[in-house]
């Protein structure tokens, strides 16, 4: 399917119809691997998109904020009934930022990539709806009607469960190299150059055959219902996918919801997490940063009085909910530019921590820990791309990170990254993970 790069003044036409009760991911059986996928099981939100009616893909870092801002203003005309609400219609993400050791595997995803799918299927109440998009102009309405009819005629009404049998994964990651980088970070903290830095590492996994990414998505959403499951497929077939627990920003008009998510323990140690000084200091740094960042953009900002426990399958986090009433004219793009990266994925002081990562992390994060999600007129929901992997064929590169503060130890931080990797490894392998 053809990829279009929109120019100023570009317009799109769209149409919509209801579908029978079903599962957006089940469409993969007849339409192929989706171009985008997004699901938040606890909120009954699920979206799958196929094809690319348009793509916004800035090629210069200076263009990225303007590209994101443009997504809420580009012109869209509905033929017939328009949906009351719908996620998107733009889906995508962007790089974490400047990182060391550039990796060409990320080239197809680019600095940022936002897709308007040709076909979008989403859960709406007890049923599904489908929308189709095409460039405005001669043949546009016909293309929309044709796409809607094609989907209506073939879309399955069942649920897409995982189907593949468990497979053995060959894993490769260097514990000594990671622990050496942790020690360098702790030296910088002890010297007073940093208060906190979030250090990431990669883990390479290879299966005996190409990964079925639809099966991987099926496992991710079933095993991680408190997370947002996502997939963004690049033109070369590489898929960035994962199940992340962390909201960067959810904007609905002038209302913003976000959260501080920092401080981690194994499920069996959850009760001690709120009394652990290291984790409380790590968490407090994120809360203070977000509140200070949002105040100039907001009429009012409030936060939970104390952190709660967010219990996931493999780990438990400290979580503080934060709400804001944005000043008139403030957009999601401005919120992202101000907030990202938070100390939950970068560190404090912010610029020193980011410089340390470029010099010492030895990793191209690509879209890992960057904003991913959907954007529409006056609405956006962007998560932080954590618990994720870049999958191409039978190979997957997983990304996991830890927040380092005074009192951190290399061995404990390695164990934390091992815990955090389990969600993706179980989804890729289809079974439990045995460490050797």
Residues in contact with 50: Cβ distance below 8 Å, sequence separation at least 6, in sequence order: 27, 31, 32, 34, 35, 117, 118, 119
* Active-site residue identified among 118, 246, 361, 413: 246
Residues in contact with 187: Cβ distance below 8 Å, sequence separation at least 6, in sequence order: none
Interatomic CA distance for residues 170 and 429, integer angstroms? 10
Residues 300/325, Cβ–Cβ less than 8 Å: yes
CA neighbor of 78 nearest in space, from 153, 141, 19: 141
Interatomic CA distance for residues 436 and 434, integer angstroms? 6
- Grouping H, G, I as helix, E, B as strand and the rest as coil, residue 56 is strand
* DSSP for 122-150, written as a single string: EEETTEEEEEEEEESSTTHHHHHHHHHHH
Structure tokens at 190: 């002890």
Burial of 294 (0-12, 13-18, 19+ CB in 10 A): buried
Measured over the CA atoms of residue 88, residue 90, residue 91 and residue 92, the dihedral's sign is: negative
**Would residue 196 show up in a list of annotated catalytic residues for this protein?**
yes
Interatomic CA distance for residues 376 and 417, integer angstroms? 34
Question: Degrees (nearest 5) of the Cα angle 244, 247, 253?
Answer: 140
Structure tokens at 249: 């920003």
* Active-site residue identified among 118, 196, 259, 282: 196
**Would residue 246 show up in a list of annotated catalytic residues for this protein?**
yes
Interatomic CA distance for residues 94 and 380, integer angstroms? 14
What residues act catalytically? 196, 246
């Amino acid at each position: 399917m053809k990829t279009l790069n929109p120019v100023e003044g570009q317009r799109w036409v769209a149409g919509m119809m209801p579908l029978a009760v079903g599962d957006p991911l089940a469409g993969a059986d007849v339409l192929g691997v989706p171009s985008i996928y997004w699901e938040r099981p606890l909120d009954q939100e699920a979206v799958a998109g196929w094809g690319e009616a348009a793509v916004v893909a800035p090629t210069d870092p200076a263009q990225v904020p303007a590209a994101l801002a443009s997504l809420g203003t580009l012109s869209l005309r509905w033929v017939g009934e328009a949906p009351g609400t719908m996620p998107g219609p733009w889906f995508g993400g962007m790089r974490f930022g400047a990182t060391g050791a550039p990796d060409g595997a990320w080239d197809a995803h680019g600095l940022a990539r936002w897709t308007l799918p040709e076909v979008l299927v989403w859960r709406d109440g007890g049923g599904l709806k489908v929308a189709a998009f095409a460039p405005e102009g001669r043949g546009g309405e016909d293309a929309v009607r044709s796409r809607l009819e094609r989907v209506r005629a073939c879309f399955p009404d069942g649920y897409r469960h995982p189907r593949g049998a468990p497979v053995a994964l060959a894993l490769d990651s260097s514990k000594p190299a990671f622990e050496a980088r942790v020690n360098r970070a702790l030296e910088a903290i002890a010297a007073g150059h940093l208060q906190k830095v979030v250090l990431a590492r990669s883990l390479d996994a290879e299966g005996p055959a190409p990964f079925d990414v639809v099966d991987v998505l099926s496992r991710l959403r079933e095993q991680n219902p408190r997370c947002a499951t996502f997939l963004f497929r690049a033109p070369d077939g590489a898929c960035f996918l994962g199940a992340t627990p962390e909201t960067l920003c959810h904007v609905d008009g002038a209302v913003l919801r976000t959260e501080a998510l920092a401080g981690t323990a194994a499920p069996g140690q959850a009760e001690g997490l709120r009394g652990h000084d290291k984790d409380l200091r790590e968490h407090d740094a994120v809360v203070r940063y977000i509140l200070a960042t949002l105040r100039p953009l907001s009429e009012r900002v409030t936060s939970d009085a104390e952190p709660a426990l967010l219990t996931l399958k493999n780990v438990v986090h400290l979580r503080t909910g934060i709400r804001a009433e944005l000043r008139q004219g403030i957009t999601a793009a401005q919120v992202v530019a101000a907030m990202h990266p938070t100390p939950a994925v970068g560190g404090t002081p912010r610029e020193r921590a980011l410089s340390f990562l470029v010099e010492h992390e030895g990793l191209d994060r690509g879209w890992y820990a960057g904003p991913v999600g959907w954007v529409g007129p006056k609405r956006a929901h962007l998560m932080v791309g954590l618990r994720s992997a870049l999958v191409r064929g039978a190979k997957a590169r997983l990304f996991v990170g830890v927040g380092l503060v005074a009192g951190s130890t290399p061995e404990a931080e390695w164990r934390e990254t091992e815990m955090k990797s389990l969600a993706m490894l179980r989804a890729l392998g289809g079974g439990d993970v045995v460490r050797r």
